[in-house]
Structure 1
Amino acid sequence: MRLFGLKTCDTCRKALKTLPDAKFFDVRSDGVPGNVLQQALDRFGEALLNTRSTTWRGLDDAQRARPPLELLADHPTLMKRPLIERDGELFLGWSPQTRAGLGVE
């Protein structure tokens, strides 16, 4: 199981505490493999972008109009967190639905 997030993100810390066997990847320093990012975009669409973040608010309209994969390549902190990959299945965020899907509470 792989967890993609930020080491400074409280939600990612909660997820890691609950999933001690997950291998953590900091999106700032480690990035997200292109194939995982493409799969996440295919699965979650625009929900993959965190449009409530300070990074998003700092972008102008022209930057926001760019394709999501380009935006995430330039600004990895725009990704909603955590992104969890388990056996090829992806989960986004740390909602009750994600926890149920992973079989944890």
Structure 2
Amino acid sequence: MVVEIFGIKACDTMKKARAFLEAQGIDYVFHDYKVEGVTADRLSAWAAAVGWETLLNTSGTTFRKLSEADRQDLTEAKAIALMVAHPSLIKRPVLTRRAEILVGFKPETYSRLIG
């Protein structure tokens, strides 16, 4: 079972999710958006599975710092372009296993997916 986790290394929620996986003895591959970036194709696939609204972090400082024009009239295409340009806009973490995708970290949800 290959578990991949996507996010930003310094993020506190990422640290909790990675610590949880390690405590459960789950091997995973970590992808750091700040180092590796993220493609529009990958974001489109995730959006098809969970919805672009779920992926876009509108409560963080990165979103608030965007121009008014960027924050208004969001569509899937516009949101994906913004997330490619500003990976901090992607909610963290995104965990994938086979075709399953989880956005955000909740220990009970992780336990069901990997248990």
TM-score interval, smaller chain: 0.7 to 0.9
1:25 aligned partner:
31
Separation in 2 of the partners of 1:73 and 1:32?
A: 6
Higher share of residues assigned helix: 2
2:85 aligned partner:
74
Question: Which 4+ residue blocks in structure 1 deviate beyond 3 angstroms?
Answer: none
TM-superposed deviation, 1:100: 3.7
SS in structure 1 of the partner of residue 36 of structure 2: coil
Number of residue pairs matched by the alignment? 104
Q: Normalized against structure 1, the TM-score is what?
A: 0.86
TM-superposed deviation, 1:33: 4.1
Say which of 49, 54, 61 aligns to 1:47.
54
Q: Deviations over 1:39-93 (max 9, x none)?
A: 2112222121111110001012211245111001110000000001111211100
Does 2:8 match 1:6?
yes
Separation in 2 of the partners of 1:42 and 1:3?
A: 18
* Consecutive unaligned residues in structure 1, runs of 5 or more: none
Q: Which amino acid letter does the alignment assign opposite residue 36 of structure 1?
A: R
Q: Are 2:6 and 2:33, in contact at CA under 8 Å, matched by a contact in 1?
A: yes
Larger radius of gyration: 2
* Consecutive unaligned residues in structure 2, runs of 5 or more: none
Q: Percent identity?
A: 38
After superposition, residues 81-100 of structure 1 pair within 5 angstroms as 81-96=92-107, 98-100=109-111
Alignment CA distance shift 1:35-1:101 (3 Å): farther
Separation in 2 of the partners of 1:82 and 1:44?
A: 13
Q: Normalized against structure 2, the TM-score is what?
A: 0.80
1:60 aligned partner:
67
